[in-house]
Amino acid sequence: MLKTAAKAGGLADRFRRVRATSAELAVGLSPEDQVVQSMPDASPVKWHLAHTTWFFETFLLSPNLPGYRPFDPAFGYLFNSYYEAVGARHPRPRRGLVTRPGVAEVAAYRDHVDAAMLTLLERGDAERLAPLVTLGLAHEEQHQELILMDLLHLFSCNPVAPAYRPYRPALRGPAHEGRWIAVDGGIVAVGHDREGGGEGFAFDNEGPRHEVLLRPFRLFSRAVTNGEWLAFVEDGGYRNPALWLSDGWATVNAEGWEAPAYWRRGEDSGWREFTLLGEHPLDEDAPVCHIGFYEADAFARWAGKRLPTEAEWETAAGTVLGSGLSPTGNTLGSGLLRPVAAARGDGLVQMFGDVWEWTASAYSGYPGFRPAAGAVGEYNGKFMANQYVLRGGCCATPDGHVRATYRNFFYPHQRWMFSGVRLAEDA
């Protein structure tokens, strides 16, 4: 595993690139933008920049770089996210109250740790640490997506509706009709094969690779569009309890949901959508985004279809990728910063990028799953309850950070991530 990356130069280069991307995401943001926490589920941009740095300091530098001195002893408490094994930590809902250290000091913290990391990566035994460094980089890439999610939520709370980046049109045409793609059933293997020497990085929760029994099914070739969702809204979808899970219906009423999270009614009757590029008329060709599991499930019921299981999704994705192809799509590198209409194609499109796709699968450990040893084992396993799996990546996911086995997960009521839905049906 990681044979190439572990070469000192390769890994150091990758370290530099990933770290630089985080800093680039903050360009154009004021210190004010970076310090505020808009809800307990979100964190300040500044906190993300510091926490990802804390990961390297805590798990790589302190134990492995002789003579390394932490930048500031208080940061261990301030920037631990949820690792119980590493000690006490600042409560999550209070992250936004820490105005000091500020943005400038966090930048200095990053520089300090980056320099030490590059020293560490040049040492003879760096290869031994490559898996943990790679985990740290994957962790940072997750936080890059969180930065954009959290920032969008923050800006959505501002009556002046700020834009993070200027709007730039996509060159995609209108949404195509789409079609049903049949996939065979049978015993299939899913999950990342770490033990078997699986290629590339994967989180612990993506394995062990194991066999499941699938029934033949069909998956729709593209994600559900805003236009299709609008029909659901206009058909009273948010007012009909028969379409909803009981917990979902309670949420609809408690939260007053009547559309996806960032849809807003315009002064005229039309719907508008708040995005990282400001508020714009709803793009009916783009995939619907910022919906919760409850909504995805209700929509599927309304449409007479269902959500795919994660095994179905992964199996279908495997047929797209074939061997050796990299998963690509509208991810962070496109610079679009929003989902856009699917490209035309004969088969499955839009499987990677644009929007994370809710599956019918509750998030739990695969057969034989064991968390990694030590504190980093708190990474994924302890969240295996009450959440649902999403697959595929989104327009805010870093480019190399999507793969067929990737298991993202959120609570069924959450909507601030770039989440959408693709329909399935029994064959």
Does 38 engage in binding with its own copies (CB under 8 A)? yes
Question: Coil, helix or strand for 280?
Answer: strand
Preceding peptide of 101 cis, ω within 30°: yes
- Contact segment (CB under 8 A) with its own copies among 14-22, 97-105, 140-148, 197-205 equals 97-105
Task: Compute the least distance from the CB of residue 195 to its own copies, in Å.
Answer: 14
Of 27, 171, 213, 373, the residue at the interface with its own copies (CB under 8 A) is: 213
Q: Would you say 15 or 217 has its CB closer to its own copies?
A: 217
Helical axes 8-26 vs 103-122, angle rounded to 10°: 170
Going by the DSSP 8-state scheme, the letter that residue 383 receives in this structure is G
- Contact segment (CB under 8 A) with its own copies among 26-34, 47-55, 128-136, 325-333 equals 26-34
Binding mask 284-323 for its own copies (x = CB under 8 A): ---------xx--x--------------------------
Question: Coil, helix or strand for 251?
Answer: helix
Residue 91, CA atoms < 13 Å, CB-side half-sphere: 5
Binding mask 62-81 for its own copies (x = CB under 8 A): ------------x--xx---
Does 49 engage in binding with its own copies (CB under 8 A)? no
Does 158 engage in binding with its own copies (CB under 8 A)? yes
Does 35 engage in binding with its own copies (CB under 8 A)? yes
What is the per-residue DSSP string for 29-87? --HHHHH---STT---HHHHHHHHHHHIIIIIIHHHSTT---S-TTHHHHH--S-GGG-
8 A C-beta contact, residue 238 and residue 258: yes
Does 332 engage in binding with its own copies (CB under 8 A)? no
Does 267 engage in binding with its own copies (CB under 8 A)? no
**How many residues of this chain interact with its own copies, rule: CB under 8 A?**
60
Query: What does the block give as tokens for 245?
Result: 């899970």
Does 207 engage in binding with its own copies (CB under 8 A)? no
Task: Compute the least distance from the CB of residue 48 to its own copies, in Å.
Answer: 15
Select from 312, 333, 259 the least CA-distant residue to 422. Answer: 312
Give CA 75 to chain center in angstroms: 26
Residues in 168-187 that interact with its own copies by CB under 8 A: 187
Q: Would you say 66 or 91 has its CB closer to its own copies?
A: 91
Preceding peptide of 398 cis, ω within 30°: no
Phi and psi, residue 281, nearest 5°:
-60, 145
Q: Would you say 9 or 102 has its CB closer to its own copies?
A: 102
Does 103 engage in binding with its own copies (CB under 8 A)? yes
Task: Compute the least distance from the CB of residue 243 to its own copies, in Å.
Answer: 10
Task: Compute the least distance from the CB of residue 395 to its own copies, in Å.
Answer: 23
Spatial neighbors of 191 by CB under 8 A, at least 6 apart, are: 206, 207, 208, 209, 210, 314, 366, 405
Binding mask 402-421 for its own copies (x = CB under 8 A): ----------x---------
Select from 137, 154, 128 the least CA-distant residue to 39. Answer: 154
Task: Compute the least distance from the CB of residue 367 to its own copies, in Å.
Answer: 6
> Angle at the Cα of 137 (from 131 to 140), degrees rounded to 5?
145
Does 250 engage in binding with its own copies (CB under 8 A)? no
Query: What does the block give as tokens for 396?
Result: 């805010």
Of 20, 266, 345, 386, the residue at the interface with its own copies (CB under 8 A) is: 386
Residues 208-243 as b or e (16 or more Cβ within 10 Å = b): bbeebebeebbbbbbbbbbbbbbebbeeebbeeeeb
| CA–CA dist 360, 252 (Å, integer) | 19
Does 26 engage in binding with its own copies (CB under 8 A)? no
- Contact segment (CB under 8 A) with its own copies among 31-39, 282-290, 314-322, 325-333 equals 31-39
Query: Which residues would be at the binding site for its own copies (CB under 8 A)?
Result: 30-36, 38, 46, 74, 77-78, 82, 84-85, 90, 94, 96-103, 154, 157-160, 162, 187, 210-213, 215, 241-242, 244-249, 293-294, 297, 360, 362, 364, 367-368, 382-386, 412, 426
